[in-house]
A and B are shown apart, each in its own frame.
Chain A
Amino acid sequence: MSDRLRTTLSIGLLVVMAAAMLTLILTNPSDPDRVQAIGERIKCPVCQGESIANSPSAMAQDMMALVAERVDQGVSDDEIVAELLASYSGAVLLDPPVGGATLALWLVPVVAVILGVAVIWWWRRHPSPEPASEDGDAATSGGRLAPLLILGATLAVAVVVAGFFIQEREGPNEGVANLGAQDLDDVSNETMEAVIAANADNPQVDGMRLALAERYYEEGDFRSAFPHYLEVAGSENATDTQVATSLIRLGWMAWEGNAEAETATGLFDQALEIDPGSDTARYLKAQVLWCGSDAPEQAASLLEEVLADPDLSADSRTQVESDLAAIESGETCT
């Protein structure tokens, strides 16, 4: 067989086989598994980079079940993907679209090939001159190295410092979480109730409990304030001042709300035991004695004790003095 004939035969055979192969491939009765194909495009939200089609996790399986159901309902691929992206965002799409923000990504291989071919073409056109002799002057060139190294080192240090700085910048807690540290003034009563209820066993909760009770007290909502004052008054962890304040408030509410003079004076006495210097307790006790127990003498002596306190503010002093004058002039309380 001549070489020429052999060549012709070979080419013919190659063409025939290639045609047969292509026909077989192109007529492959492929049955594309749409569910699998869609699943491979979506990243499993609870895994590390796996698609929901590949992940064994229960969440991925549930998502695959949803995809299968939508496919059965006749929803299109893009609509199914869009449904998942609507809740999970584009970050879970493993298959970025050719267009929009990810168009550049798809252009990368094209640009890289063009650039590569251009470089090869240019290199073939521009052969370099003979390289300089190999015993180049290392000593002089060593001098030129220094600025480079300094430049590199400076940039490197800049990156390290910037990196540290940026890392420090962002803590894990942002947004509403910071409200936890905010002024209690901005916090609603309900929130404080919830915080107190959730931290009932926390020894540090007494401060917030008292603050909430004071707020109810000022709003005149004695019913809401009462249990909190009671808790603080009975708390082992509360400070003396906190307990004394609670006892005083409880006493005043007993008098104002229920006109229980004896309960009130008893509570004021307890408060005075804990905090003997409390002018408020003395003054309020005096009020109850004067108005409720009909004991103006005791009230007057208490008010004098209050006046004996050199730290008493000017306003308070005026008030106490006018009350004292009223008692001494035999007036009934108002």
Chain B
Amino acid sequence: MLALLGSAGMLVALIGAVLLVTRGIAAARRDAGVNLEGAARLLLAGAVATMAALVLALITDDFSLVYTANHHSTATPFPFDVATAWAALEGSIVLWGLILAGYTWFVFRRYRRAPDRLGAAALAVMGGVALFFFGLMITVANPFETCVQAAQVGCAVSSPWPLIAVDAPANGPGPNPLLQNHFMMAVHPPVLYLGYVGMTVPFAYAIGALALGVPGPEWLRRSHRSTLIAWSFLTLGILLGGWWAYEVLSWGGYWAWDPVENASLMPWLVATAFLHSGIVQQRRGMLQAWNFILVISAFALTILGTFLTRSGTINSVHSFTQSAIGPALLGFLVLVLVGSFALFSTRADLAASSPRMESLVSREGTFLANNLLLSVFAVVVLVGTTYPLILEAFTGTQVGVGEPFFNRITVPLSYLLLLVMGFGPITPWGRADGDLLWRRTRAPALVAMAGGLLTALLVTRIGWVVLSVTLALFVIGTMTGLLFEQARRRSVKTGDALSASLRQVVTGDGAFWSGQLSHCGVALIAIGMAFAANLGTHLEVGMSPGESTVFQGHTITYESPFQQSSTAVTVIGARLTVTDGTRLVAVMEPSFNLFGDQQSAVGTPDVLHTARGDIYVTLRDFPDETMAIRITLDTSPMIWILWLGGLVTVTGGLLAVRARRRERRVAVDRPTVDV
């Protein structure tokens, strides 16, 4: 029954996508007049029905579906049963399709409000992308295959026909234990996908503008705003992924330059570059061709990332088994690259933009530097991730590329980016006056240098930490200085109080100041990363019940091993008390979690969060016959600054979306920040 609903949903969505392409092209050619509502509705309804059928099958334990039979078990608790809907390959494509249909609906709503050829062309492109993903679902990644011969656990033989006689197994093996160890796995993929799939919208507008031959500010405005939305979600998704890795994967880190992480970082870097260079085009009419390239690249990188993580060509924790989906995604990537860039080439005369840049010492100049650095960063990540693959394909030599390589290249790049970030907002457009720049940097530079010196004197003399603090303070300082400078000028002009002027300045150019908030977030991230990476301490210790060890001013006592069993999970761990002299600070329970019938145990750390940073306890081994354990104790100093910075960055992105919407509605003549 649910197989029928799901299959019908996929088919309806596919028809909607086809109609959207054909009618969208017609509408774009004939300048509106063609109704796209039906097609958009079909796509959305089909996608919702598809996901609904899958989720229903999971929460009603309908094992007649192969997907349920192989990735679910009756013991899987909420919310992991729902999250299983996107935990495996086929389901993740369904989630992709649903989010894509959702974005398409938003693009359509804008089109319905004010129909134009650009909107119609963009809808046709979105329909084309949806056509691919729903086609993928129906052919090689069908989540609604029915089970015609049950295995002991899971399904042995399947059929793509929803109405065939089924032989449903009584139970399934349940999802991958790693994925059901933390509620974050229910949240992280949808958020990340909101970011990934969101990159389709700016791509659609860019391709629409190129195909129609209408360059200029309109495609850019829409692409820029939709990139802002996608970028915010992508940032949040990456942040949640890092937080999940830190809290669950028991190695104390949040980023390992794993190919899957790199796959999400590459579009983020390119989208970040576009968020900046897009402003240059909006304000100065420059860099249009470059913006086309960035938008197309960001989208292509999301497809490449999906290919790398889903095809099994790169070894990774998130990789699914090999399937025909790999060649299909690769073929789509080729189509996107060849189609888009060949289109770009034939429209080169339109894509180019005319105004000349006056001087490199200008806001445009800092944006250029920012784009250069971000692009080099993205290229390094791309090449570093795929180099072992390429080299082996050509020479058969096997090499590894990992954290040391990436850190050595990207850490200096990041410091350069911070430096540019400190200068960017205070540098005027056109041609910057040296005196003005000096006036605006003098105080922040002094404050930053003093802060760095104090850090070196009081906290640590490790260069990276001192440099991070100095540059982060410089970024925050120049921006704060600019805010007060404008507020003071306004208050002098209007006679308002400084506080009122501050508010007026910020709300007057919401998009700009939202961006500055994101910059603040990035500065905080830099501080948090530097502290956690350089000032952590590590201790490995064996303990018998009743024994204590002193770690970072805390007394940690091993009380006893413990075991808890539920239908879904058996937890075997050690109970530790943490005291501060005499006062009990916390009880910590690092453990191993064994899920259902799964073979492997998932090590789960326990983390004590304090204002000075985290104490991170991992169990190395099951308690032995004498109940003795080995644990590792780590500190992550000030790591909360990193998470806070991430949230601030995302908040800045979302506020910018709101500010841009308000700008569009009110169309106020905003004050410019330059002088």
Contact = CB atoms under 8 A, between A and B. Distances in A.
Check whether chain A touches chain B (CB < 8 angstroms).
Answer: yes
Interface of A: 6-7, 10, 13-14, 17-18, 20-21, 24-28, 30, 40-41, 43, 48-51, 54-56, 58, 61, 89-96, 101-102, 104-106, 108-109, 112-113, 116-117, 120, 124, 127-132, 134-139, 141-142, 144-145, 148-149, 151-153, 155-157, 159-164, 167
Given A21-B466, A54-B251, A156-B331, A134 B215 contact: yes
Interface in B257-284: 257-259
Interface in B209-249: 211-216
B346 to A, nearest CB: 6
B618 interface: yes
Nearest to B450: A17
B468 to A, nearest CB: 12
Contacts of A20: 453, 456
A40 B326 contact: no
Contacts of B470: 21
A104 B390 CA distance: 12
Q: Which 6 A-B pairs have the closest CB atoms?
A: A163-B327, A94-B402, A136-B213, A128-B352, A160-B331, A95-B404
B257 to A, nearest CB: 7
Interface string B461-473: 1110010001000
B349 interface: yes
B281 to A, nearest CB: 12
Interface in B354-395: 354-357, 360, 368, 372, 375-376, 379-380, 383-384, 387-388, 391, 395
A57 B401 CA distance: 21
B338 interface: yes
B380 A112 contact: yes
B554 interface: no
Contact of B214 (A30, A134, A151): A134
A127 B285 CA distance: 12
Contacts of A144: 346
A238 to B, nearest CB: 30
B403 A51 contact: yes
B398 A108 contact: no
B445 interface: yes
Contacts of B330: 159-160, 163
Contacts of B446: 10, 13-14, 17
Contacts of B380: 108-109, 112
B322 interface: yes
Nearest to B463: A25
B216 to A, nearest CB: 6
B665 to A, nearest CB: 25
B503 interface: no
A61 B384 CA distance: 27
A89 B331 contact: no
Interface of B: 28-29, 117, 211-216, 250-253, 256-259, 315-317, 322, 324, 326-328, 330-332, 334-335, 337-339, 342-343, 346-347, 349-350, 352-357, 360, 368, 372, 375-376, 379-380, 383-384, 387-388, 391, 395, 397-405, 409, 413, 438, 442, 445-446, 449-450, 452-453, 456-457, 461-463, 466, 470, 603, 618, 620-621, 632
A50 B256 contact: yes
Contact of B213 (A91, A95, A124, A137): A137
B456 A43 contact: no
Contact of B391 (A54, A101, A109): A101
A49 B402 contact: yes
A164 B324 contact: yes
A204 to B, nearest CB: 21
B327 A40 contact: no
Nearest to A148: B342
B334 A116 contact: no
Contacts of B327: 159-164, 167
Contacts of A90: 397-400
Nearest to B347: A141
7 contacts: A17-B449, A40-B403, A49-B402, A116-B372, A124-B356, A139-B29, A164-B324
A56 B253 CA distance: 12
B395 A101 contact: yes
B544 to A, nearest CB: 20
Given A56-B250, A56-B618, A101 B397 contact: yes
Given A40-B403, A48-B317, A105 B215 contact: no
Contacts of A105: 383-384, 387, 401, 405
Contacts of A153: 335
Contacts of A96: 387, 399-401, 405
Contacts of B250: 56
